[in-house]
Structure 1
Amino acid sequence: MKKDMKNKILVLTLMIISMIIMLSSTNWFSMWMSVEINLISFITFLKINSNKLMMEKCMIYFLTQSLGSMIFLTSILISKLSVISFNTLNLTLFMSMMLKLGMSPFHIWMPEMMNKLSWNKMIIAITLQKINPMMIMSMMTHKSTLILMLITLSTITGAIMGINQTSMTKIMAFSSINHLGWMTLCMMNLNNLWTKYLLIYSMITTLFCITLNSMNMFYINQMFLNKMIISKILMSILMLNMAGLPPMPGFLIKWMTIESMLSLNNQIIPLVMTMSSIIILLFYMRMMSIIMLNSTITPKWKLQMMSNKKMKLLITMNLCTPLLMLI
């Protein structure tokens, strides 16, 4: 157990080092190197306490990320020969990062890789693993019509494909695809709004995954919290936050994104993305209805309950998240 903990700390340290390298990079090659360090460290993290199913997920992740890195590096080498134009290079690099992040239409691998992943590994996959590719994307100009269409497609795909899912890990994967579209849209004004969005999203998602891990929940039909009023309130606050309902931070950051797009005289894309958020709200409200309305059902499995101190801490953290927007 102690050895596994030491390995996890070492791997997380390598991930942080790769992010520092990305922040201090001045050329494409050092950026590529930081992405590769991050890839190897995350695969090592997945292999800790792994089984046969986890090895398959490691292979899916490795092949997909290697393909994205190969496209990224090949585009840079070709650009040095002045064979392709700047706009073509920009589009190719942008799509290679979309493949790494799992954005639509390159999203097929992401839900399958994250399905039945442990919540601790899920937190790393949908928060820290987004930082390096999004830093590279923020350094490009992306106001072309094709890129705007791909961003809109990502939000629609994440919303629609998450409706009929019963696995919480798959729902989180499709919700991540939807939020990736919003974060990429924040880059349209060439400001740092996407960093605020990523920070708020990471905090909300981490709290949600920690709570589900503590309650040992992986499927929607496990959301029967019998005679646990505090747990129901906690889960309801978390889901309202994830769904982006006012006055939660998830709503306020989307509001800021829509305002930034309206300043560019673009009304159609914010309208479509707002409609996709309503669909996201649909399947989170479905989970809330199961929690709040099924109070008399006695589950046939034994859930791992949290201690009162841990429950109070999680509730306090969730109630304090709206204060982040004031800061």
Structure 2
Amino acid sequence: MLKLYKILFFNTLILGTLISISAYSWFNMWIGLEINLMSIIPLMKSHNNSYPAEAAIKYFITQSLASSIILLSITMTYHSNDFLPTQSNLMMMLNSALLTKLGAAPFHAWFPEVLEGLNWMNSLLLLTWQKLAPMILIMYNMKMIVFFSFIIIISAITGGIMGINQTSLRKLMAYSSITHIAWMLASMMSLKNIWFNYFIIYCIISLNLIYIFFILKLYNMAQFFSKINNNKTINFFFILNFLSLGGLPPFLGFLPKWLAINNLIYNKFYFISLILILSTLITLYFYIRITLSTLTLSAQTILLNEKSSSNFMLIYFNVLILNSLFICTSMFNFL
């Protein structure tokens, strides 16, 4: 049952993000981020969450620390003549705080831990909507190319390597998100429209995957291997969506990576392109390892299933999304 306070705080959550991305001054931007932070904390209170209080406290401490650094850097920027730090150091402070809010490496330690204590609906909010405001604010002042190149490389390597031995699906999605953050920051460096396309496609694929996890109530690999084979249709769509999240060419997830790499090489960011491609190969390795294990003979399959319900909306939405790469490339050819 949807409670009234959740509807109220969900609306203020959206309002806080919209205030941040449409603010004319840094101070109004900070106010929007605070409204957003104060709105998501009550939404984390749920009986379905594993550790609601622990996740909420961890999230609040890290986000309030980042907010205080943002406020400090804004105040010092207004009075930069009276303080010792130069303008570039202040911008580095501001960008570091925004990257902490985003969950990019090396400021990522809170992100998998908070996600582990939440249910799938709160995890979807944290993986998609909560990234919108910090991303757009980073886009406004993305002038420190060396600093952001370092963040992109560290995020790509961390997300790829740390996701290999994960047994929790929520932590797997968290480290996958860190890799995608690196791709999004890299797409910002070349062309802003590519970032927007990447973000929308990432949100759609994450929604598909998390909806499958939500309806099957999957949280770790043991549950995953025992339940995913009961419904062959959902198993098939899960495999395709997982490969799409990794960016395998026939699927929609390949399109934004294709555009990002194309523009990075055009702008002569060769080393960043190499690191991003290698990290994506690592993530594809453990995605394929998970998907292949559901298809092999070692997977447990229940042959006599009492009730086999097919979810029409899930099938329709997945077929539409998985064919979107063909639709997009066809549109580009005719434009």
Query: Structure 2, unaligned stretches of length 5 or more?
Result: none
Q: 2:14 aligns with which of 13, 16, 39?
A: 16
Q: Is the 8 A contact 2:230 2:301 kept in 1?
A: no
Query: Structure 1, unaligned stretches of length 5 or more?
Result: none
> CA offsets, 1:293-313, max 9 Å, x none?
1476247xx999753424423
> Quick one: structure 1 residues 196 and 315, their matched pair in 2 at CA, closer, same or farther if it must change by over 3 Å?
closer
Q: Is the 8 A contact 2:293 2:299 kept in 1?
A: no
Q: Is the 8 A contact 1:168 1:218 kept in 2?
A: yes
> Quick one: distance in 1 between partners of 2:156 and 2:96?
16
**Corresponding residue number in structure 2 for 1:166:** 167
> Quick one: structure 1 residues 321 and 295, their matched pair in 2 at CA, closer, same or farther if it must change by over 3 Å?
farther
**Corresponding residue number in structure 1 for 2:260:** 257
Q: 1:66 aligns with which of 59, 64, 67?
A: 64
> Quick one: distance in 1 between partners of 2:263 and 2:90?
26
> Quick one: distance in 1 between partners of 2:156 and 2:145?
17
The range that moved more, 38-47 or 312-321, is: 312-321
**Corresponding residue number in structure 2 for 1:29:** 27
In the alignment, residue 296 of structure 2 is paired with which amino acid? L
> Quick one: distance in 1 between partners of 2:234 and 2:48?
31
The range that moved more, 222-231 or 87-96, is: 222-231
The range that moved more, 243-252 or 313-322, is: 313-322
Count, aligned residues: 323
Q: Is the 8 A contact 1:154 1:178 kept in 2?
A: yes
> Quick one: structure 1 residues 150 and 303, their matched pair in 2 at CA, closer, same or farther if it must change by over 3 Å?
farther
> Quick one: distance in 2 between partners of 1:324 and 1:154?
31
> Quick one: structure 1 residues 130 and 201, their matched pair in 2 at CA, closer, same or farther if it must change by over 3 Å?
same
In the alignment, residue 168 of structure 2 is paired with which amino acid? S
In the alignment, residue 254 of structure 2 is paired with which amino acid? F
In the alignment, residue 88 of structure 2 is paired with which amino acid? N
The range that moved more, 104-113 or 59-68, is: 104-113
Q: Is the 8 A contact 1:240 1:248 kept in 2?
A: yes
Q: Is the 8 A contact 1:14 1:38 kept in 2?
A: yes
> CA offsets, 1:203-224, max 9 Å, x none?
1101110011111211122224
What TM-score, normalized to structure 1? 0.92
> Quick one: structure 1 residues 305 and 56, their matched pair in 2 at CA, closer, same or farther if it must change by over 3 Å?
farther
Q: Is the 8 A contact 1:162 1:171 kept in 2?
A: yes
**Corresponding residue number in structure 2 for 1:56:** 54
> Quick one: structure 1 residues 305 and 54, their matched pair in 2 at CA, closer, same or farther if it must change by over 3 Å?
farther
Runs of 4+ in 1 over 4 A off after TM superposition: 302-306
> Quick one: distance in 2 between partners of 1:137 and 1:219?
33
- The residue correspondences of 1:193-212 to structure 2 (distance < 5 A) are 193-212=194-213
**Corresponding residue number in structure 2 for 1:136:** 137
Superposed CA RMSD? 2.2
**Corresponding residue number in structure 2 for 1:120:** 121
The range that moved more, 245-254 or 137-146, is: 137-146
The range that moved more, 94-103 or 287-296, is: 287-296
> Quick one: distance in 1 between partners of 2:281 and 2:162?
14
1:191 Cα deviation after fit: 2.5
Q: Is the 8 A contact 1:214 1:305 kept in 2?
A: no
> Quick one: distance in 2 between partners of 1:304 and 1:117?
29
1:20 Cα deviation after fit: 2.1
Q: 1:39 aligns with which of 37, 40, 48?
A: 37
The percentage of counterpart residues that share the same residue type is 33
> Quick one: structure 1 residues 53 and 261, their matched pair in 2 at CA, closer, same or farther if it must change by over 3 Å?
same
> Quick one: structure 1 residues 194 and 269, their matched pair in 2 at CA, closer, same or farther if it must change by over 3 Å?
same
**Corresponding residue number in structure 2 for 1:94:** 95
The range that moved more, 95-104 or 85-94, is: 85-94
Q: Is the 8 A contact 1:214 1:304 kept in 2?
A: no
> Quick one: structure 1 residues 143 and 74, their matched pair in 2 at CA, closer, same or farther if it must change by over 3 Å?
closer
